[in-house]
Amino acid sequence: MSRTAVISDIHANYHALCAVMEDAFNVERCTEVVCLGDIVGYNAFPGACLDYIRQLECPVVKGNHDEEVANPSGAKMNPIARLAMEWTYDQLSDEQRRWLSRLQYQRIVRPYGATQNSFTIVHSTLDQPKAWSYIVNANDAAGSFTRQFSQLCFNGHSHVPKVYMWNGRAAAEDYDVLHNLVMEGYAEIQPVAGYKYCINVGSVGQPRDNDPRASYGVYDSDANLVIIKRVNYDIASAQAAIIEAKLPEYLAERLGKGC
């Protein structure tokens, strides 16, 4: 049996990461983990989150924040993100930054013990993984689908859970899944043969869909089922740590609003 926890955009939020992993291992009985990048940036525990992910020895792909901290390019970034980036740089060792710099942009993952049902992981898009473009509508998804050779692809980057389907000709968004997630904090996707899926599991450490709870996914390859769910965590402690670290106050505020 293989149940894989799919986690993305942790962004140095150690409280959220611990709550999600506790849920993944003890409630969802996950046996595997994949990480879709942006382990660091914005919040107060980049080193602890990085160490946590590394000790899992799981497949990880690189996010734009991981890349910028590992090899600062001075790329255009909003001023608050830039401040947090510079703070994060100082928190990490050369060795930790080197580890981030070596991450791949995309990977094919085969669930443990399975001979089929390999899936793809990427932080942004499969057609331009290094350009860090966002998939925010079906048109954006269509471009990525042209480069998707597995039935399922999991991505992150926008911090907003979304599900897109591709029938070989056109892409469409599955709004029902999102409706369930908003109403119940839980949604199931049962992939249908003949379709490809691009699934954004939302963000562990900085959700931006107006729900402050952490978001992550579970893929059960035997049951052919994907779950996206929300998990409560100690937001107040994560906010206090941001203030304590003298990171921009807005980063604490937004955690409370989920934006």
Q: Which residues bind Zn ion (CB under 5 A)?
A: 9, 38
CB-nearer residue toward Zn ion: 9 or 220: 9
Provide the minimum distance between the beta carbon of 9 and Zn ion in the complex, in angstroms, as a whole number. Answer: 4
Q: Strands across the sheet with 32-35, in order?
A: 32-35, 3-7, 214-220, 225-231, 186-189
Task: Give the residue with the Cβ less far from Zn ion, 25 or 134.
Answer: 134
Shortest Cβ contact with Zn ion: which residue? 38
Of 151, 157, 162, whose CA–CA distance to 200 is shortest?
Answer: 162
- Could you tell me if 95 and 109 are in contact, meaning their C-beta atoms sit under 8 angstroms apart? no
The minimum distance between CB 14 and Zn ion, in angstroms, equals 16
Torsion angle of alpha carbons 191, 193, 194, 197, nearest 10°? 20
Residue closer to Zn ion (CB basis): 28 or 38: 38
Region of residue 242 (phi > 0: left; psi between -120 and 50: alpha; otherwise: beta): alpha
**What is the chain's percent helix, strand, coil content, to nearest 5?**
35, 20, 45
User: 208, 223 in Cβ contact below 8 A?
Assistant: no
Which residue number, 39 or 165, has a Cβ lying nearer to Zn ion?
39
Euclidean distance between CA atoms 166 and 21, whole angstroms? 31
Give the separation between CA 154 and CA 191, rounded to whole angstroms. 13
Beta bridge partners of 100: none
Rounded to the nearest whole angstrom, what is the least distance from the CB of residue 177 to Zn ion in the complex?
21
Q: Annotate 147-182 with b (16+ C-beta within 10 A) or e (fewer).
A: ebebbbbbbbbbbbbbbbbbeeeebebbeebbeebe
Name which of 59 and 207 has its Cβ closer to Zn ion: 207
Based on CB atoms, which residue is closest to Zn ion, 9 or 211? Answer: 9
| Minimum CB–partner distance for residue 12 and Zn ion (Å) | 11
Nearer to Zn ion, 117 or 200 (CB): 200
